[in-house]
Structure 1
Amino acid sequence: MKTKFIHFLRLVFPSSYTELAIFLFFVTCYGILGSYIAIHYRIIFDNRIPWDAYFSFDNKSILMTGGSFERHPLSYYFFNWVREFSLFISGGKMDSTFRLTLAWLSNIIISLNIIQVYKYVRNIIRLPFNLSLLIILFFGVFSTNILLSFTPENFTYTLFLLSLYNYYAAIKLKKEEKTPALALSLAAISIGGLTITNFVKVFIPVLFEKNLFKNWKKLGSAALRVSIAAICYILLYLNRIDFKYETIFSKTNQQYEKFSNVETMPTWDMILSFFFGGNILFPSFILSDKHNMQGFAFKGLYMDLYSSVFSYLFIGIILILISWSYLKNFKNKWVQVIMISFFIDIVIHCMMRFGLHTSYIYGGHFVFVYPLMLGWLFYAYAGSAKILSFLTVTVSILFVYLLANNWFRMSEFFWFMETYYQ
């Protein structure tokens, strides 16, 4: 038991001096950003604003209720702990100390998410340190990581849990070991409990266990483990809603109708600017007049469609690199696990159009795919110095452009807070 606990700590937290240095770097950078916002502005948490203060995040709603049960079945329990811990630190007051605690919880979680991706590219893909560092720095300035580093939301914790589980599952596949029923159940409850659409992703690695479809015993074992995890999850979900299962269908249909019928923007542009783009590269912003349904008016900030050809070019290059990596590594089981998970989000948001107009906020479900697939692309050309140099230069240029763009857009975000949220 003690050995397993030590292995768990080494899995979740930095386990080498290099990992610790990377963690401290990001926790410091994100911490400075989040601390300044928490102390000087009320945007992270304001009792009067339940949702949509910035980029459709539901900070207060999530903290107080865990979000809607049909989309976030078990997050109510998790955010009770987050809220009570933050209130304990702030002495029961929802003030700047409360906001600061929330920001630092998010900061630590997102920094640990960065570490999970670094562990993956170093220990699973086995890239050299310089390439691993380039990928991590690139990933670290994604708009999703920047925003979630101070935002108390489901996506913040979902991103970390999915990155952690992908690394854990990759280790199991590498060792040709099966994922235990307990691990599957915990992953299903935590990941699926925070956002229901991620539930099925937990079981994808099981499909790639060695000789699964060639051995009836292994197939039966997998079916049993999946069944145990699914039953545990379903029982907890039904208990959450007092076993009134009929409300799941009615509420889910309402949510789908609400978030899928937006005709004001071209679908192709929302897919590029919001689903593939907004999670990485900030577009320009637009202001909106909002109210809390109880007489209080406030300003909301949303992402607009891309207006620069360079933004479309940036996202186009990223998609080419990811597609290139997938085709080159098509027979790689680790790559298939990553991409099947990604395809689930593409189907939900791009094909079914659920939340497509605000799909940049769903980056916590899949944004880790980009650095991992870039890592596998570098791996595929480890023996070709010319292509490796080309890829390194390309990602370096993308990183510089991304850093400059997101730095500029964050300055606009600070103007927004300075004007409306002091």
Structure 2
Amino acid sequence: MQPNFSHLNLKQKTADVFKTVFPSRGEEFLVFSGFTLLYGILATKIALGYTIIFDNRIPWDAYFSFDNRAIVMTGGGFERHPLSNYFFGWIREFALLVSGGKMDANFRLALAWFSVVTVSLSLVQIYKYLRNITRLPIWLSYLIVIFFSLFSTNILLSFTPETYTYTLFFLCLFNYYAALKLRKEEKISMLALTAGTVAVGGLTVTNAVKVFIPVLFEKEVFKNFKNFGNAVLRGIVAVAVFGLLFMYRLNFDYMKFLSKTGEQYEKFSKPKVTPLWDMVASWFFGGNVLFSNFITRDYHNRKGFEYKALFMDVYSSWFPYIFIGVLVALVIWAYIKNFKNKLVQILMISFAVDIIIHCILKFGLHTSYIYGGHFVFVYPLLLGWLCYSYRNSPKKFSAILILVTTMTVYLGINNFIRLEEFFSFLNAYYQK
């Protein structure tokens, strides 16, 4: 009897997918379980003790401009989140199943734990990249992951049901997958490219372009007509599938998308009183890493219900600016040092997409501290590449290590203190 090779091949590919997505070694399970426990404690406390994660009366902006209720109930606006209504429909229905159909504390807890697991899996992807792609030792990979885990973006998204939570995971996963393929000089499969476009672009449409960046660095893609044609074909299929799914949601009324997109750009790109440089420093580069001061504002839901909302202010001392300046300098240093490394180029081009959208076009710059899920994973990966490039230079490596360790301590202290301020806000306005 001949073996069924197609069955064996499918079984192997399925196993490879699970091995890529989930922890597959003891050290990876330690990362996942450790952060699931820590984030889980935080998320459980907030979900059971307070109503801020989901309150059916509050449509948006209860904290840091997250649109929790709108995202959970509808997936958000189609013009920015074209396919997220399907994704969050599944999550909402499962949470309702857990809570017995009630939007109560158990409903909030289910939503929060989806976020806990997703952010923890994102950290696993970062760890896998540092270990398997950058080839850093276990202890150094742990240090960089701990540093990354303390970012304000990860802390907030670990209990927040939002598109950014899942975008962070999908982008971390796809970058790791693409790096594995490129390191082996293999092509990114049509299925993976299509799935990545639907998952990443479906949650936030502008991120779809990031899925195609690694294709530009495949072996001889611009030197061989066959390779170029194959890359174009894969791109066309991915865009076509994504476009058809999107148009199906809109009943193929593409003018509705164009007009709504124009409205959104006008709404979210208006200049603010805050100087441009400070919005870029405090909110785009800084707010996704290091919590700044908080300010409280009065809001209402247009139906008579009034509530308090929390936002980030700009930094009030020089220490945070110095911290962010050093971090950005390390990222630039890593890029220059590894300029010829195509995997580093992919990360920086991806980062440049967000810099153009938010810092140059000014879309959402005044609340850019919520967009970290789109790009903040670049920081730990480039720090990993910087450490790798000086692995044979003991003095410089030690200097970088001391700097990163010091920054980790400062980041942890600052964000812990700010988190206490966040709980003071919850105790004042959002207790059950």
CA distance in 1, matches of 2:54, 2:272: 31
Residue of 3, 6, 26 corresponding to 2:15: 6
Which of 330, 347, 350 aligns to 1:338? It is: 347
Q: Deviations over 1:377-408 (max 9, x none)?
A: 00110110000000000000000000000000
Deviations 1:335-367 (A, max 9, x none): 000000000000000000000000000000001
Q: CA deviation at 1:186?
A: 0.5
Determine whether 1:194 maps to 2:228. Answer: no
Secondary structure, counterpart of 1:178 in structure 2: coil
Q: Offset of 1:263 from its aligned partner?
A: 2.3
Task: Give me the whole-angstrom Cα distance separating, in 2, the residues matched to 1:243 and 1:219.
Answer: 31
Corresponding position of 2:277? 268
Q: What does 1:161-180 align with in structure 2 at a 5 Å threshold?
A: 161-180=170-189
1:223 to 211, 220, 232: 232
Q: Cα RMSD (Å) of the superposition?
A: 0.5
Measured after TM superposition, the shift of residue 129 of structure 1 is 1.2
Pairwise mapping of residues 54-133 of structure 1 onto structure 2 (< 5 A)? Answer: 54-133=63-142
- State the partner residue of 2:330: 321
- Aligned partners of 1:220 and 1:293: how far apart in 2? 53
CA deviations 1:239-271 (Å, max 9, x no partner) are: 110011001111111101111103210000000
Gaps of 5+ in 2: 1-9
**TM-score between the two structures when normalised by the length of structure 2:** 0.97
C-alpha contact (below 8 Å) 2:119/2:158 kept by paired residues: yes
1:138 equivalent in structure 2? 147
Residue aligning to 1:360: 369
Output the CA distance in 2 between the equivalents of 1:22 and 1:209: 31
Deviation at 1:331, TM superposition (A): 0.5
Equivalent in the alignment of 1:302 = 311
Report the counterpart of residue 30 of structure 1 in structure 2: 39
In structure 2, distance between residues paired with 1:229 and 1:145: 29
- The alignment's TM-score, normalised by the length of structure 1, stands at 1.00
Contact 2:72–2:89 (8 Å) recurs in 1: yes
Q: Please tell me whether the aligned partners of residues 125 and 172 of structure 2 are also in contact (alpha carbons under 8 angstroms).
A: yes
Per the alignment, residue 5 of structure 2 pairs with none
Equivalent in the alignment of 2:167: 158
Partner Cα separation in structure 2 for residue 259 and residue 306 of structure 1: 22
**Equivalences for residues 390-405 of structure 1 within 5 A:** 390-405=399-414
Task: Work out the CA distance in 2 between the residues paired with 1:155 and 1:20.
Answer: 24
Gap runs ≥5 in structure 1: none
Offset, 1:374? 0.2
Q: Is contact 2:272-2:366 (8 Å) kept?
A: no
Q: Is structure 2 residue 423 aligned with structure 1 residue 414?
A: yes
* Amino acid aligned to 1:309: W
Contact 2:118/2:169, CA 8 A, preserved across alignment: yes
Q: List structure 1 segments (4+ residues) > 3 angstroms apart after TM superposition.
A: none
The superposition leaves residues 50-106 of structure 1 with CA deviations (integer Å, 9 ceiling, x where unpaired) of 100000000000000000000000000000000000000111011100111111100
Identity of aligned residues (%): 59
Q: Give the corresponding residue for 1:288.
A: 297
Amino acid at match of 2:111: L
